[in-house]
Structure 1
Amino acid sequence: MNLQLHHGDCLEILPALDAGSHDVVVTSPPYNLGINYRTYKDTTARADFLEWCKEWAAQVKRVLTDEGSFFLNVGAAPSNPLFPHQVLLALTDELFVLQNTFHWIKSITIETRAGETISAGHFKPINSKRFVNDCHEYVFHLTKAGQVPLNRRAAGVPYQDKSNIARWGHTGGIDKRCRGNTWFIPYETIVSRDKQRPHPATFPVALVEQCLRLHGMGEATRLLDPFLGIGSSAVAAKRSGIRQFSGIELDEHYLEVARDRLNELI
């Protein structure tokens, strides 16, 4: 795999990348919610922040192929629920088309057919008389024209009722259906946050792998993450055996952690 990790500001590095040089972008930018990053100050005025988002997103569009997919992970604070939608509106005003909206479910409680209540996943509890615990984030699937074909079955799940395989002609006799737009992808259980996840806002490797499967190019994929953090997307790229990965990270320490995680896979 051609692996390129860049240390610096994405607004300085993205312009140096060739136009149309990447097939998929998966990233999660700073949320402008006062998160305590090591280097980046996450407290910009909202209007300025949205303008900044449009600047780097314009570069993402330039380096993305016409049939490329841009998967944008954005979360919110309970007291600031409109933030993800404000970012989305800023990026779809002139730059991108929203093709799909996925809900990344971090924790969920369900009742089984046997009547048993099961809770799974991890979330950060809040102590509030106004808000409930926030157990999900958005993954917006943005494309240049809203017409990118996807491999829905590659990112799918087996049928719960196997009789549906024969009943519905579109299955082709294959025991796998479209997963839909709710993705339950919990964080891996860790012992030490400082040692195993030394970053205040990460997504799981499995989230990136799901995006890669859905886009459907397999090993030929050229993936970019302009806000690399501690390298979850780079780890996903390596585990998926794709052709090329490019990552950009402003904080040198986070970039070093990303390199260490990649070295552990060798």
Structure 2
Amino acid sequence: MPPETLHLHHGDCLEVLPTLGAGSHDLVVTSPPYNLGIAYRSYDDTRSRTEFLDWCRQWAREVKRVLADDGSFFLNVGAAPSNPLFPHQVLLALTEELFVLQNTFHWIKSITVETRAGEPISVGHFKPINSKRFVNDCHEYVFHLTKTGNVPLDRRAAGVPYQDKSNIARWGHTGGQDLRCRGNTWFIPYETIQSRDKERPHPATFPVALVEQCVRLHGKGEATRLIDPFLGIGSSAVAATRMNLATFTGIELDERYLGVARERVAADS
């Protein structure tokens, strides 16, 4: 995408978002701090639950203002095994008056499946925990929020081929295409890295492919005007560049993370 359509802002999203035009973006893909004590460089991730949820309502209100009426807001939220209600508390706070929950996706980071021959295959990456109470947490939520709950999606753009090819002719809704809706479980592993400090210095990131999936599903293609109010090290900016989107706006509080985001975009251009 041309440099003039890429807007990376250093600052607090509560200060930058009000400077943007109402309805100026089609798509929001973001992951805010989780209030789980994560060691960010410039943000205190240990607020009280009430204070944190009030803060979420503040920035979500501005997100709704800058989002087009037919726009989509994909909110990635994870949890700690000892705090499993957290994603749902955030969701309830944002759907009390602001948004409608249209879809819930499960971002699968790691999974083990068996082949038809009974052979187990394990793929993906997860952070193992040593616990007698909890199992390893291998997924996060992606909540699809809209203003009305009636926003059309391009399900096939984010689809997968049929495993049983006879379904293509047997089911009329296929239109003869070997592509079906992927559903609400997305297996998107992290890319393998050699050094976390050098390649993934932010403590909580999502893969570029996760953003690309949201862009495809929303269905506006290269005309998409994407915004990420919690840019981090720039996965959404890299996705916008790779997909040649019309515009991208990113906001990041920490100057170092923003610098890494700029470097990633430049390296990918």
Q: TM-score range by the shorter chain?
A: over 0.9
Q: Tell me what 1:46 maps to.
A: 49
- After superposition, residues 102-251 of structure 1 pair within 5 angstroms as 102-251=105-254
Tell me the C-alpha RMSD between the 2 structures: 0.4
Code of the residue aligned with 1:125 in structure 2: it is P
Code of the residue aligned with 1:147 in structure 2: it is N
Aligned-partner Cα distance in 2 for 1:242–1:216 = 12
Q: Tell me what 1:10 maps to.
A: 13
Matched, 1:37 2:40: yes
- Cα deviation for residue 96 of structure 1 reads 0.1
Aligned-partner Cα distance in 1 for 2:105–2:128 = 22
Q: Tell me what 1:75 maps to.
A: 78
Q: Tell me what 1:55 maps to.
A: 58
Aligned-partner Cα distance in 1 for 2:256–2:197 = 13
Code of the residue aligned with 2:164 in structure 1: it is D
Q: Secondary structure at the match of 2:157?
A: coil
Aligned-partner Cα distance in 1 for 2:268–2:28 = 22
Aligned-partner Cα distance in 1 for 2:166–2:191 = 34
Unaligned 5+ segments in structure 2 are none
Aligned-partner Cα distance in 1 for 2:69–2:150 = 10
Tell me the number of residue pairs that the alignment of Structure 1 and Structure 2 aligns: 266
Aligned-partner Cα distance in 2 for 1:69–1:231 = 19
Aligned-partner Cα distance in 1 for 2:120–2:240 = 36
Q: Secondary structure at the match of 1:154?
A: helix
Aligned-partner Cα distance in 2 for 1:170–1:220 = 27
Residues 19-75 of structure 1: per-residue CA shift (max 9 Å, x gap): 000000000000000000011010000000000000000000000000000000000
Aligned-partner Cα distance in 2 for 1:50–1:244 = 30
TM-score, normalised by the number of residues in structure 1: 1.00
TM-score, normalised by the number of residues in structure 2: 0.98
Residues 179-236 of structure 1: per-residue CA shift (max 9 Å, x gap): 0000000000000000000010000000000000000000000000000000000000
Aligned-partner Cα distance in 1 for 2:250–2:268 = 17
Match of 2:264 among 247, 261, 265: 261
Aligned-partner Cα distance in 1 for 2:237–2:112 = 31
- Cα deviation for residue 115 of structure 1 reads 1.2
Q: Secondary structure at the match of 1:87?
A: helix
Aligned-partner Cα distance in 1 for 2:38–2:97 = 28
- Cα deviation for residue 237 of structure 1 reads 0.4
Q: Secondary structure at the match of 1:264?
A: helix
Q: Tell me what 2:97 maps to.
A: 94
Unaligned 5+ segments in structure 1 are none
Residues 65-112 of structure 1: per-residue CA shift (max 9 Å, x gap): 000000000000000000000000000000000000000000000001
- Cα deviation for residue 114 of structure 1 reads 1.6
Q: Tell me what 2:88 maps to.
A: 85
Q: Secondary structure at the match of 1:153?
A: helix
Q: Secondary structure at the match of 1:57?
A: helix
Q: Percent of pairs identical after alignment?
A: 82
Which consecutive segments of 4 or more residues in structure 1 shift more than 3 A?
none
- Cα deviation for residue 177 of structure 1 reads 0.1
